[in-house]
Amino acid sequence: MELKRIRSAVALSVAAASLAACGGGGDEGSASGDDVTLTYWASNQGTSLENDMEVLQPQLDAFTEETGIEVDVEVVPWSDLLNRILAATASGEGPDVLNIGNTWSASLQATGALMPFDDAAMEEIGAADRFLAGSLSATGAEGQPPTAVPLYSLAYGLYYNKAAFAEAGITEPPATWEDVIADGQKLTTADRWGMSIEGGSVSENIHDVFVFAKQQGGDFFDSDGKPTFDTPENVAGIKQYVDLIQTDKIANPSNAEYSNGTEALADFASGKSAMVMWQAAAGSLEELGMDPADVGVVPIPAPAGAEDVSSIVAGINLAVFDNTDYKDEALQFVEFMTSTENQIALNKTYGSLPSVTDAYTDPAFQTEAVETFKSILDDRSVPMPAVAEESQFETLVGTAVKNMLAEAASGDEVTEDEISEQLAAAQQQLGG
Amino acid sequence: MTATAPARTTAGTPAGTAQVPAGAPRRRRKRQWLPYVLLLPVLVAELLIHIIPMLVGVGMSFLQLTQFYIRNWTGAPGAGLDNYRFVLQFDEASGKALLHSFWTTVVFTVVVLACSWGLAMLAAIWTQHAFRGRGLVRTAFLVPYALPVFASVITWSFMLQRDNGVVNHVLVDQLGVLDERPFWLIGGNSFWALIVVEVWRLWPFAFLALTAGMSSIPAEQYEAAAIDGAGVLRSVRWVTLPNLRSVNQVLLLVLFLWTFNEFTVPYTFFGKSAPEQADLISMHIYQNSFVTWNFGTGSAMSVLLLLFLLAVTAVYLLLTNRRRPVDA
């Protein structure tokens, strides 16, 4: 029934769009006036949608005061954001400025719905070299003007529980993946596991295995953008992840059904696990009641001799909808949101990293944890594949990994041959 | 209660029908346009809400509608039958997955239908004759149907969690029926868990329909059966079931269509991607269009599903309607 509703909604919006197109040009008369109102779709970064409104509203008021441009903000939950953007793309009726998950950049770029930030546009919002190079690499396909600019930057780190480590007699955080496994086995006791993972979540799975595959030198797309899923390196990367439950036994098999994006972190916060791979989690951990003194974070280590990759370039990008009537005003707003002052204020509240280098002069971003994450973003992170099929790839491979974890959790063996078969099947489903 | 039933069914044929067309023919002709005008809003709404979207869906299945073209979907290149060819290549992974999902859904539907209908029948027979507290029992039976789907299904998924769920707590810790904590949300069990949830949600509707149907069965028929020496089973077989024939005909069809198309329950229960063993067809189609942005293949699958359901419905109606005059 839901599907039917979605389908009719899409069709209706298409119909509405064509009606609007027929009567087009009616209400654009006052574009040059002072009373411009921009529509802004913000993603959910805070603890709730209301919290986001509270954080954003003062900034938007300041913008209105400065420029006379009103901003009508709507915080869109993550579960809806992509669908909303797709619907807006199909109908041509969307916001003026919007947030996108940075891994969607290349896919959305291919739709042509977002305004390319060519040199002129970049000039208008400052300069491209204001931004962190790592974050700027996740703004669209290579060789094309960025389809968005980085707004909040994030990276994965390996969080560990200092108290649990001390109790198990481990003095140093793990430096190689072999250490992670050895430490994890020491840390695993009757009421604690070495590590927790969000094994039922398609997006967490794909981010983790992508990094592991990269450490092995694997690639899911070649330089021409052709899929190359089924390679020994990718198989090894996925095996490394599944083995957390299957062979190393440092993760609870129940983790395979964790899918709402909070359970693995909650286990870590409550001491049920001693390590977790997560993006900027300090704020959430404190909210979950964990003593900040116990929280340590290091880059996710690679196996000895493998490539030193420890995270994807994660984060949120800011884009301008190409159909907007107010391109100049939209760019002014982008400039405002990425100004040093705002980057400091917003990222401090959200616990993410600023996307512009100047913001790091603020003392709030000179803590040990922030330095760790900044070094991960600068030197040890890779963008997700910048190809149009990126979101298909995430879904297909992430789902396959979820099913393999489920198998391993139920006690069936997941062999390299099977991983290879699953990857080949995922690749076949990509075409079509 | 029982006394009013015969009165209703034996109420005579409408006696006053002959008087209705007494008005002058001229006035009638003048007014002939009125019914059509009154129907017009409904027709337009029906067209906008049902027919056009359906046609758009069918049209989309012949387009190569990927993210490159959703912005200007009229510019999407024609795909001919390529989308259909792609989803129907059963020797490749995509076709195999669709076929697997189809059979999963068939088994799911048959089991859910059998359980919901059986349960509803038992409950309806039990509450057919008045007893103390019958109203309460009936209300209690209807609760799952009255609860919001999302809230109740999410609660089920919490209850069925492996480590913290109440189901495993009862089965393993309290009753000791099982030694190992089984998974219910992933793996093979997830299929059966989904069936339990779906039956739980669906059977009250069947119960409601059957109860309504039974309330119009004349009490004399049961009395006559009792005099002839029929027990409960025999009177169910020879009085209740034949009287419920037309109710059952519609009920089973509706239950079948709902179950086969079920999306909300698995989507709430499993999230964006269902385990392989419980990959129902509507979830599969959702994954193949909205999640992977390939609206052409998604539409092709939807059209195939539509054709299949149409065929089943047609055959079903043909078979059940043909037998009716013989029975009567």
Banded model confidence at residue A35, pLDDT cuts 50, 70, 90? confident
- The residues, ordered by sequence, that sit 6+ positions from B123 with a Cβ below 8 Å of its Cβ are B141, B203, B207
Q: Do A410 and B264 touch (CB under 8 A)?
A: no
Q: Where in chain A is the domain with CATH 3.40.190.10?
A: 36-154+313-382, 156-312+385-430
Q: What is the mean pLDDT of chain A?
A: 88
Chain B residues touching A426 at Cβ < 8 A: 93
If one counts every other C-beta atom within 10 angstroms of the C-beta of residue B212, the result is 11
3-state helix, strand, coil in chain A (%, to 5): 50, 15, 30
Higher pLDDT, B247 or B80: B247
Q: Do A403 and B83 touch (CB under 8 A)?
A: no
> Which pLDDT score, from 0 to 100, does residue A350 have?
85
> Which pLDDT score, from 0 to 100, does residue A32 have?
45
CA distances from B51 to A6, A12, A151, B35, B47 (A): 15, 11, 43, 21, 5
The full length of chain A comes to 432
| Chain A closest-CA separation from residue B248 CA (Å) | 22
pLDDT digits (tens, 9 = 90+) for A364-400: 888 888 899 999 998 899 999 988 888 889 888 999 9
Between strands A37-43 and A97-101, the pairing is parallel
Higher pLDDT, A330 or A431: A330
Q: How far apart are CA A287 and CA A292, in angstroms?
A: 10
> Which pLDDT score, from 0 to 100, does residue B7 have?
42
If one counts every other C-beta atom within 10 angstroms of the C-beta of residue B179, the result is 6
Nearest to B71 among A90, A107, A410 (CB): A90
Banded model confidence at residue A25, pLDDT cuts 50, 70, 90? very low
**Which class does domain A36-154+313-382 fall in?**
alpha beta
ipTM, two decimals: 0.76
List of E strands, B208-284 = none
- Section A323-351 average pLDDT: 92
> Which pLDDT score, from 0 to 100, does residue B26 have?
57
Give me the amino acid identity at A363: P
pLDDT digits (tens, 9 = 90+) for B222-232: 999 999 988 88
Order of strands across the sheet with A295-298?
A: A193-196, A273-279, A156-161, A295-298
Chain A residues touching B290 at Cβ < 8 A: 6, 83, 86
A406 touches chain B (CB under 8 A): yes
pLDDT digits (tens, 9 = 90+) for A91-136: 888 999 999 999 989 989 988 899 999 999 998 898 888 998 888 8
Q: Do B273 and A395 touch (CB under 8 A)?
A: yes
pLDDT digits (tens, 9 = 90+) for B112-150: 999 999 999 999 999 988 899 999 999 999 999 999 999
What is the CA angle B109-B115-B119, rounded to 5? 145
* 3-state SS record for B284-328: HHHHHHHHCCCHHHHHHHHHHHHHHHHHHHHHHHHHHHHHHHHHC
Q: Do B183 and A406 touch (CB under 8 A)?
A: yes
Give me the amino acid identity at A66: E
> Which pLDDT score, from 0 to 100, does residue B87 have?
85
Chain B residues touching A432 at Cβ < 8 A: 83, 86-87, 94, 294, 297
- Section B158-162 average pLDDT: 92
> Which pLDDT score, from 0 to 100, does residue B323 have?
59
| Chain B closest-CA separation from residue A11 CA (Å) | 5
Q: Is 70 exceeded by the pLDDT of residue B24?
A: no
The number of CA neighbours under 13 Å toward the Cβ of B170 is: 6
Q: How many CB pairs lie under 8 A apart between chains A and B? A: 133
- Nearest residue on chain A to B46, alpha-carbon basis: A8
What is the CATH code for A156-312+385-430?
A: 3.40.190.10
**Domains, chain B, ordered by start:** 87-327 (1.10.3720.10)
Q: Do B293 and A432 touch (CB under 8 A)?
A: no
DSSP state of A139: S
Question: Which range, of A57-61, A175-179, A348-352, averages the lowest pLDDT?
Answer: A348-352
Kindly report the backbone phi and psi dihedral angles of residue B233, in degrees, each rounded to the nearest multiple of 5, phi listed first.
-60, -45
What is the CA angle A287-A289-A294, rounded to 5? 110
Q: Do A11 and B53 touch (CB under 8 A)?
A: yes
- Section A193-206 average pLDDT: 93
Nearest to A254 among B57, B163, B272 (CB): B163
Nearest to A107 among B53, B83, B293 (CB): B293
A94 touches chain B (CB under 8 A): no
Q: Is 50 exceeded by the pLDDT of residue B14?
A: no
> Which pLDDT score, from 0 to 100, does residue B91 have?
87
pLDDT digits (tens, 9 = 90+) for B34-93: 888 889 999 999 999 989 999 988 988 998 887 778 787 777 888 788 889 888 888 888
pLDDT digits (tens, 9 = 90+) for B250-285: 999 999 999 999 999 999 998 877 888 999 999 999
Banded model confidence at residue B321, pLDDT cuts 50, 70, 90? confident
Q: Do A200 and B186 touch (CB under 8 A)?
A: yes
Q: Is 50 exceeded by the pLDDT of residue B327?
A: no
Question: Which range, of A36-45, A231-240, B270-279, averages the lowest pLDDT?
Answer: B270-279
3-state helix, strand, coil in chain B (%, to 5): 75, 0, 25
Between strands A353-354 and A311-312, the pairing is unpaired
Q: Is 60 exceeded by the pLDDT of residue A20?
A: no
Banded model confidence at residue B32, pLDDT cuts 50, 70, 90? confident
- Section B102-119 average pLDDT: 96
Chain B residues touching A112 at Cβ < 8 A: 68, 71-72
Q: Do A395 and B185 touch (CB under 8 A)?
A: no
- pTM for this prediction: 0.82
> Which pLDDT score, from 0 to 100, does residue B86 have?
86
